[in-house]
Amino acid sequence: DTGVSQDPRHKITKRGQNVTFRCDPISEHNRLYWYRQTLGQGPEFLTYFQNEAQLEKSRLLSDRFSAERPKGSFSTLEIQRTEQGDSAMYLCASSSWVDTGELFFGEGSRLTVL
Amino acid sequence: GDSVTQMEGPVTLSEEAFLTINCTYTATGYPSLFWYVQYPGEGLQLLLKATKADDKGSNKGFEATYRKETTSFHLEKGSVQVSDSAVYFCALFDRGSTLGRLYFGRGTQLTVWP
């Protein structure tokens, strides 16, 4: 297994455009997380899936953000009508069914909104 | 609510110096505590963990002891190397909560000079 992979690694877009990020977790992991990291800050929780069910969403996840995990495997995070404040690193992580807090992170998708 | 407060950086040390990075936490339940590390150009990875009071986590020469009485989980290493240069994040997972999230500190940048 090659670990958690994210695509694209970098995305530059103009304000108002829509962007979508994809995450492929470790294959046997049924839990998947999205975090956001801005410069000089630690990762902040956005949302969490167990299999295909989205179990929790942070207040950081405004109506312009939507995440899916349709078949309980890969996940997508879409940001509609991007704003400059959305510029950040979007991190995906996965873990096994045992709820331990040990997450395996991808390298992240960096978004720059001009 | 749950939170983590981490020593601000950056920290700059010479090779073979002693390292301490302070971390304190606030939790409403029964937290597990972690140190994650982010090497340049790589994703976050788990460095060490402790699941209950007085547990000591250790890995790669790093250690941290879960101190419930002082709500602390300070990271230490006796002799740092240039290869330890990275950003270190203290994190908390509340096992008593139904929420599946990690709470991270802001991160401490460590630079080790030869």
Q: Give pLDDT tens digits for A35-51.
A: 999 988 999 999 989 99
In this prediction, residue A101 carries a pLDDT of 81
Q: Are A70 and A90 in contact (CB under 8 A)?
A: no
Interface test with A, best of B44, B49, B99, B104 (most A CBs within 10 A): B44
Residue B97 is predicted with a pLDDT of 63
Q: Which of A99, A109, A110 to mutate to test the interface with B (most CBs of B within 10 A)?
A: A99
A57-66, B8-17, B66-75: least confident range? A57-66
Residue B106 has its nearest CB partner, among A42, A50, A56, at A42
Res A90: pLDDT: 97
Q: What pLDDT was estimated at residue A72?
A: 84
Q: What phi and psi values does residue B84 have, to the nearest 5 degrees?
A: -85, -5
- CA A19, CA A16: separation in Å to the nearest integer? 10
User: What's residue A77's pLDDT?
Assistant: 97
The terminus-to-terminus CA distance of chain B in angstroms comes to 41
What is the per-residue pLDDT across B43-78, written as a single tens digit (0 to 9) for each? 999 999 999 999 999 999 999 999 999 999 999 999
A67-86 pLDDT tens trace: 999 988 999 999 999 999 99
With a cut of 70, say whether residue B99 has pLDDT above it: no
The Cα B105–Cα B78 span in angstroms is 23
Cα–Cα distance measured from residue A90 to residue B90, given in angstroms and rounded to the nearest whole number: 19
Q: What is the pLDDT of residue A57?
A: 86
